Amino acid sequence: MEYRKKRKRYLSFIVRLHHLSTPDNETIVTKVKETTAIGTKLLTLSQPQRALSDSYYSLIKNNPSFEIDEKTGSVYLARRLDYNNASIVQMKIQKQNFNAANKKEMTLIFELDDANNHSPKFSTNNYTFNVLENTVIGINIGKVEAFDDDEGTNGIIKYRILGENKDFSIDIKTGEIFLHKTLHYHVVIN
């Protein structure tokens, strides 16, 4: 008879609740692309059957990036968002009844997705490397450096040498340049 130990398996995970279209949430988190067009509806706070109710929505503290439809609670983008200025934008909304003093505050949190909207730039315009004719093949002869203002995968720099080059190679990640074959002083390399 074969005996097997029962092992418990555990699974770890994070639950992140994103926009649920109900006004009962105190905090609503939603993602917005940095390239979202001005005038785009980002979310609606009321449910369709409640859109004609006796309540209205307003911004507690005016945020020029957003506009809100007082009746439906629809939130629209009023101006471009820039991930480099702020990766998260918060705003406070108030829901209030016309005929009562019943008020409810909600916090809307917009997490911006960074767009690939910056081009890499080299740290200097020109690089000059002096290489002796008898330099050993495979040796590092210099390094180029670039930076990109984008975040995450959009900000990763990958280096390559353009054109039909067989004399040098470049490390795609570091920008280090290596001698790939023997050089001859009378041959000009462009």
Q: pLDDT over 90 for what percent of the chain? A: 23
* Averaged pLDDT, 110-130: 87
pLDDT of the residue at 13: 43
Rounded to the nearest 5°, which phi and psi values hold at 4? -120, 135
| Of the candidate ranges 10-14, 31-35, 150-154, 155-159, the one whose mean pLDDT is the lowest | 10-14
The dihedral formed by the CA atoms of 30, 35, 39 and 41, expressed in degrees to the nearest 10: -20
Is residue 23 pLDDT above 50, yes or no?
no
Is residue 141 pLDDT above 90, yes or no?
yes
**More confident site: 8 or 60:** 60
pLDDT of the residue at 48: 53
Q: Is 48 helix (H, G, I), strand (E, B) or coil?
A: helix
Going by the DSSP 8-state scheme, the letter that residue 154 receives in this structure is: G
Is residue 17 pLDDT above 50, yes or no?
no
Q: Is 155 helix (H, G, I), strand (E, B) or coil?
A: helix
* Averaged pLDDT, 66-86: 87
Are 159 and 127 a contacting pair, CB within 8 Å? Answer: no
pLDDT of the residue at 21: 43
Chain mean pLDDT for the chain: 79
10 Å Cβ neighbour count for 139?
10
pLDDT of the residue at 188: 61
Token output for 33: 């692309």
Burial of 35 (0-12, 13-18, 19+ CB in 10 A): middle
Are 32 and 72 a contacting pair, CB within 8 Å? Answer: no
Token output for 20: 């649920």
Q: Which residues of 36-74 are buried (b: 16+ CB within 10 A; e: fewer)?
A: beeeeebbbbbeeeeeeeebbbebeeebebbebbeebbb
Q: Is 152 helix (H, G, I), strand (E, B) or coil?
A: helix
Q: How far apart (Å, rounded) are the C-alpha atoms in residues 144 and 152?
A: 21
What does the H/E/C string look like for 49-80? HHCCCCEEEEECCCCCCEEECCCCCEEEECCC
Domains in the chain (CATH in brackets) are 27-113 (2.60.40.60), 116-190 (2.60.40.60)
